[in-house]
Amino acid sequence: MAAFIELADIFRHHGPAFRQDRAGHLSLDQLKVMAAIEHCRTAALGGHVEGCDDCGHLRVSYNSCRNRHCPRCQGSAARDWLAEREADLLPVGYFHVVFTLPAEIADIAFQNMRDVYDLLFKAASRTMTMIAADPKHLGARIGIVSQGVV
Which of 89, 117, 135 delimits the end of a domain?
89
Judged against a pLDDT cut of 90, whether residue 147 lies above it is answered with: no
Residue type, 111: Q
Whether residue 47 is found in the same domain as residue 69: yes
**Domain extent at residue 37:** 1-89
What's residue 77's pLDDT? 79
Whether residue 62 is found in the same domain as residue 109: no
First-to-last alpha carbon distance for the chain, in angstroms, is 36
Which of 89, 117, 139 delimits the end of a domain?
89
What's residue 57's pLDDT? 94
**In terms of Cα–Cα distance, which of 134, 103, 101 is closest to 116?**
101
Q: How confident is the model at residue 40 (pLDDT cuts 50, 70, 90)?
A: very high
Chain mean pLDDT for the chain: 89
Q: How confident is the model at residue 20 (pLDDT cuts 50, 70, 90)?
A: very high
3 state DSSP class of 1 = coil
Q: What total number of domains does the chain contain? A: 2
Does residue 141 contact residue 133 with C-beta atoms inside 8 Å? yes
Whether residue 14 is found in the same domain as residue 30: yes
Residue type, 50: E
To the nearest 10°, the Cα dihedral for 15, 16, 20, 23? 60
pTM: 0.55
Q: What is the mean pLDDT of residues 117-137?
A: 93
